[in-house]
Amino acid sequence: MTLPEPSEIERKLGEYLEDVWKCIRCGFCNSVCPTSNTSRSYMSSLTSRGRLILLQAYFSNILSKSLKDEEIQELMEYCFGCRRCIEICPAGVRIPNLIWRVKQLNEKPRYLRKFILTHYGELLRLFSKFPRFSNLFLHSHIGKILLELTVGVSRRIDFPSFNYSLEGWINKRRRNNGFRGRLAYFIDVFTNYHEVELGKKIVEFVEKLGYIVVAPPQREAGTLLLEEGLIEEAYRVAKENVENLYDIVQSGAKILTSSPAAYLALKKDYPELLGDTKSRIVSENTIDIIQLLLNEYEDGRIDFEIPLYDRLVYHHSCFTKASGLTKDIRRILMLAGYNLLELDVCCGIGGIWGMNKSNYEISLEIGLDLFNELKRINLPVTSQSETCRIQIKNNALVDVRHPFSFIVDRVKINKE
Ligand code: SF4
Ligand code: SF4
């Protein structure tokens, strides 16, 4: 195999190449990296620090393999982009961002998977138009096998059921007078096509507060594309979403999110990917439903009716941590009268990483302590992340919902 020109690789790594040299090999990242603490990760370069050492070796010309080599790329697969390491790294290495660029070099032919992932938003939209058929098919034995063969999603995963889209429901809705202004809901796929009831509750609630809710033209958040190293595709999705959302922000609306991936994409990923003014303006005008509730509380527009001082487990999802929403969620849950038991442990799912056949077992190993603890405690659980909720529900068999679901029935809207 001919080694590629270093310049080609350097070009693909771009500004992140300098992060390779920032690493001082302290290993702090290993202590928080979910995949660096498993039965496999003490071998080879399967730890977070190991991946950095490997990259330093490559750029020092002491590694005889190309970064495109299958074995090297397999090591990179052990980073699922949770971003837990960013905060702890004393040298400021943007580890996941760097690894996504290295994954870009993967030349393994994965045409069908790549096609499906690049078009997953459109495909899910199509499935949601025929929910009964889609659910029958995807929950059938043959549907699961096809999903495994084409996208690599393990047949042991129960794909979440489809519903008619939230977007469609919002657009058919009669608008109120909206004296408080307009909110453009950037929904992302899970709430848009699967957990539609949660989205409806959010819309109905903010309408009661006096907002108009619209569903602007939008694509999926695209975080999944970054994690797969499909940087150009992620760039295109980011560009399209920002163009659509920028126009609506210019007309005076704020962007509302309820998914941590959607919030993270708009707040951090898109400005970092696009580096332009429009994405920065969209970012500045994005608010999560939990922040909106806190603002309403601080302005005296809502209060909480506390029936009981209930105990609730708060699971810190990786994306919620990375987006900085943790303190707001904790605060609003406590204001709503919950006595929180916090578990800051990764469940192992990593978006769709843990759903992949090749990662399924290791994903369960990562989450095992969390599942056992949740079974032992046997209390309801809240987690902001959609895929964490799937993983926890399937493996700890507990009631697990979005924080908004635990709050909404306790909110009292004050008269103006
Ligand atoms: S925490 Fe940062 S500096 Fe330390 S080993 Fe990890 S990447 Fe390198
Ligand atoms: S982003 Fe997560 S999985 Fe990747 S190296 Fe950092 S801690 Fe590990």
- Ligand 2 midpoint to CA 18 (Å): 18
What pLDDT is stored for residue 179 in this prediction? 80
What pLDDT is stored for residue 402 in this prediction? 97
Positive or negative CA dihedral for 381, 382, 383, 388? positive
200 and 266 part of one domain = yes
Residue 308 phi, psi (nearest 5): -145, 155
- Ligand 2 midpoint to CA 47 (Å): 9
| Residue 312: pLDDT band with limits 50, 70, 90 | very high
| Residue 5: pLDDT band with limits 50, 70, 90 | low
| Residue 9: pLDDT band with limits 50, 70, 90 | confident
288 and 172 part of one domain = yes
> CATH number, domain at 196?
3.40.50
Nearest CA to ligand 1 atom 4: 26
Average pLDDT over residues 63-90: 90
Q: What CA–CA distance (Å, rounded) separates 218 from 212?
A: 18
| Residue 117: pLDDT band with limits 50, 70, 90 | confident
Each residue of 344-353: b (16+ CB within 10 Å) or e? ebbbbbbbbb
Positive or negative CA dihedral for 58, 62, 66, 69? negative
| Residue 1: pLDDT band with limits 50, 70, 90 | low
287 and 306 part of one domain = no
Considering its fold, how many domains does the chain have in total?
4
Nearest CA to ligand 2 atom 2: 82
Q: Which of 228, 261, 294 is the last residue of a domain?
A: 294
Q: What CA–CA distance (Å, rounded) separates 98 from 22?
A: 12
Q: Which of 268, 294, 320 is the last residue of a domain?
A: 294
- Closest ligand 1 atom to the C-alpha of 24? 3
> CATH number, domain at 61?
1.10.1060
CB-based burial label for 113 (10 Å; 0-12, 13-18, 19+): middle
Q: What percent of the chain clears pLDDT 90, i.e. is strictly above it?
A: 73
23 and 124 part of one domain = no
pLDDT above 70 for 2: no
What are the distances in angstroms from CA 9 to CA 213, 329, 387?
45, 41, 33
- Closest ligand 2 atom to the C-alpha of 51? 5
Query: Which residues lie with the beta carbon below 6 Å from any ligand 2 atom?
Result: 29, 32-36, 48, 79-85, 95-96
- Ligand 1 midpoint to CA 226 (Å): 21
Per-residue pLDDT reduced to its tens digit, 203-256: 999 999 999 999 999 999 999 999 989 999 999 999 999 999 999 999 999 999
pLDDT above 90 for 167: yes
Average pLDDT over residues 132-149: 92
In a domain, 158, yes or no: no
Q: What CA–CA distance (Å, rounded) separates 284 from 151?
A: 35
| Residue 109: pLDDT band with limits 50, 70, 90 | low
In a domain, 331, yes or no: yes
Per-residue pLDDT reduced to its tens digit, 13-22: 889 999 999 9
Domain that holds residue 55: 6-103
pLDDT above 90 for 369: yes
209 and 238 part of one domain = yes
Residue 340 contacts residue 314 (beta carbons within 8 Å): yes
125 and 92 part of one domain = no
What pLDDT is stored for residue 218 in this prediction? 95
Residue 187 contacts residue 215 (beta carbons within 8 Å): yes
Q: Which ligand sits closest to the CA of 49?
A: 1
Average pLDDT over residues 110-122: 85
pLDDT above 60 for 85: yes
Q: Is 326 in the pocket of ligand 1 (CB under 6 A)?
A: no
Q: Is 140 strand, coil or helix?
A: coil
- Ligand 1 midpoint to CA 38 (Å): 18
Q: What CA–CA distance (Å, rounded) separates 200 from 260?
A: 17
Radius of gyration of the chain, Cα coordinates, nearest whole angstrom: 22
Q: Which of 244, 276, 294 is the last residue of a domain?
A: 294
Nearest CA to ligand 1 atom 8: 23
Residue 24 contacts residue 91 (beta carbons within 8 Å): yes
Q: Running DSSP on this structure, what letter comes out for residue 182?
A: E
Q: Is 20 in the pocket of ligand 1 (CB under 6 A)?
A: no
Place of tokens 């690894």: 99
State the average pLDDT for the chain: 91
Q: What CA–CA distance (Å, rounded) separates 398 from 278?
A: 42
- Ligand 2 midpoint to CA 283 (Å): 24
Token pair for 363: 């994903």
Number of H helices, E strands in the chain: 25, 10
Nearest CA to ligand 2 atom 4: 79
267 and 356 part of one domain = no
Residue 174 phi, psi (nearest 5): -75, 130
259 and 342 part of one domain = no
Nearest CA to ligand 1 atom 7: 23
Residue 99, H or E segment: helix 95-103
Q: Which ligand sits closest to the CA of 23?
A: 1
In a domain, 157, yes or no: no
In DSSP terms, 343 is beta-bridged to 315
What pLDDT is stored for residue 6 in this prediction? 57
Average pLDDT over residues 43-55: 84
- Ligand 1 midpoint to CA 70 (Å): 24
pLDDT above 90 for 24: yes
- Ligand 2 midpoint to CA 246 (Å): 31
In a domain, 155, yes or no: no
172 and 285 part of one domain = yes
Nearest CA to ligand 2 atom 8: 33
What are the distances in angstroms from CA 40 to CA 152, 305, 359?
21, 49, 12
- Ligand 2: which of 48, 54, 97 to mutate, judged by most atoms within 8 Å of the beta carbon? 48
In a domain, 89, yes or no: yes
What pLDDT is stored for residue 112 in this prediction? 82
329 and 257 part of one domain = no
Residue 99 contacts residue 43 (beta carbons within 8 Å): no
Q: What percent of the chain clears pLDDT 70, i.e. is strictly above it?
A: 97
In a domain, 156, yes or no: no
| Residue 364: pLDDT band with limits 50, 70, 90 | very high
Per-residue pLDDT reduced to its tens digit, 263-300: 999 999 999 999 999 999 999 999 999 999 999 999 99
In a domain, 160, yes or no: no
Per-residue pLDDT reduced to its tens digit, 389-416: 999 999 999 999 999 999 999 999 987 6
181 and 277 part of one domain = yes
What pLDDT is stored for residue 326 in this prediction? 95
The bridge status of strand 381-382 relative to strand 311-315 is: parallel
Scanning 336-381, the segments in alpha helix (DSSP H) are: 360-377
In a domain, 1, yes or no: no
386 and 319 part of one domain = yes
pLDDT above 70 for 63: yes
Average pLDDT over residues 145-152: 88
pLDDT above 80 for 118: yes
- Closest ligand 1 atom to the C-alpha of 85? 1
- Ligand 1 midpoint to CA 23 (Å): 5
